Amino acid sequence: MGVAIEIGQSGRTPADALAIPVVQGEEPQDERLRAVVESGEFRGERGEALLLRVDGTRIVASGLGPRGGIDLDTLRTAGGAAARSLARVGGTVAWQVDRRLPLPLADQAAALVEGTLLGAYFPGKWKSDDTKTPRPFERIVVLVEETPEVQAAVERAALLAERTNRARDLVNTPPNELNPQTLAEHAVALAAEHQHLSATSLGPAELDELGMGALAAVGRGSRNEPRLIVLRYEPPQPRNPELVLGLVGKAITFDSGGISIKPGLHMEDMKGDMAGGAGTLHGLGAVAALGLPVRALCVLAAAENLPDGNSFRPGDILRAANGKTIEIVNTDAEGRLVLADALWYARREGATHVLDVATLTGAMELALGDLYAGVYANDDNWRDRIVAAGGRSGDLVWPLPLHPRYRRYVESAFADLKNGSTLRQASPALAAEFLHEFAGEGPWAHVDMAGPGFLERSRGDYMAVPGGTGYGVRLIAELATSLA
């Protein structure tokens, strides 16, 4: 972990800056901020931050908004705002926890650490001008009484933030550097970091042997061949040896739309169509790093969707690994195709409880914006567990209806089903019903995170830069924790 996390005492811990959360409309906990609050120069609004020098000490006032709206995401946002105001300072920041807030001190400390690390993320690692790069934090100190609970909470928060930022790096990697093969190499390198984690990948010949006609077809138009990337986490003493958490990630490393080509505007953002894969990959890495006693399997369906003379076409009929045939009506509805084969494989390899994560439909982004992902599930208890994990982790999820009557949208006259609909209705729901055909027996949920997975601009909280957010890492870690 690159940033040291410590518990300290106020006045005894040297730091380059002291960060102080401020409740809007209330007297600040530090008297050195009273004058600036009384003057109206700083109001304490959520996400507001002000860097001051008081008696030779750098102080960051970071707003929480009104007391009634304060939750863990508020504190993460305060952490992110403080981090951005200290971008040219770096070094050590010390956080003064507010004991007057109605939140456990351990939770407060964890949220501030997490928000600081996520808010400090810089996406421009490819810039050649070092002067544009923020100074990194070397140490974050939380000024609170040291207890085992607080220590465990801040260490966990720092680990999850670091893994989330690694997923963001992967999503932001340009497609000339990241393709299905190099993504497989990332997975192997991640597995090498952990004793009980292994990784392998299957190439075109193995996909053909398994009958994965859907995944193979999507990657056929690119010289960078498709891969099915498989990671297994086998802890030495699983809490429930019969339970295997199956994580399936869409990993389209670049999506032109294929022959049904996308508009040119913002096509460069389609490097982010593997954000679900990045979140599941580093989500499993977080599970392994935390040493959670839950068996887990991660399957990434990796391909580039490009048009050439060998590309799959509208009108083609593909045969997926489970034997079902699929009429292609739109080659830009490729995510559900690669997930179809990956879901089948996860079940074949023993997954009992399955979660797939994908930037699947633009309509989901229209519906829920850049904050919530939508979730569809065939099991109410499994869906509710995922929604609860999202609420605790900050990777928010909103439940949406899975209903068999949506199946009519993907009926085909020529094949078992088709991969899209000409009706401009319920496209996230019909995509979910499509995937339902391949989800197998047992609890399954589909998270469509097209909005929160890749940002075009600041989200107004601790995710304040464009590009990948690492969505899914914290969700998966929290979900696995609930199963442990």
| Residue 191 CA neighbour count, 13 Å, CB half | 21
The predicted pLDDT at position 142 comes to 96
Question: CB count, 10 Å around CB of 34?
Answer: 12
Model pTM score: 0.96
- 336, 347, 418, 474: the catalytic one is 336
Higher pLDDT pick, 308 / 132: 308
336 is catalytic: yes
Could you report the per-residue pLDDT of 190-222, keeping only the tens digit for each? Answer: 999 999 999 999 999 999 999 999 999 999 999
Q: What is the share, in percent, of the chain residues with pLDDT greater than 70? A: 100
The SS3 call for residue 19 is: strand
Active site residue 250: no
Residue corresponding to tokens 């699929």: 326
pLDDT at 1: 54
Q: Is 375 strand, coil or helix?
A: strand
C-alpha separations of 13 from 3, 139, 143, 300, 428 in Å: 16, 11, 8, 45, 51
State residue 360's pLDDT score.
97
pLDDT grade for 314, boundaries at 50, 70 and 90: very high
> What does the alpha-carbon distance between residue 298 and residue 285 come to, in Å, rounded to a whole number?
10
Residue 147: the pLDDT is 94
Distances (CA, A) of 33 to 18, 50, 51, 105: 12, 10, 11, 22
Enumerate the H helices of 305-361 as residue ranges. Answer: 335-348
Cross-sheet strand order for the sheet of 373-377: 197-202, 227-233, 295-305, 244-255, 353-358, 444-448, 373-377, 397-399
Per the prediction, the chain carries an average pLDDT of 96
pLDDT band at residue 2 under the 50/70/90 scheme? confident
The 8-class DSSP code of residue 128 comes to: S
Dist CA 132 CA 152 (whole Å): 34
Among 262, 319, 324, 392, which one carries the catalytic annotation? 262
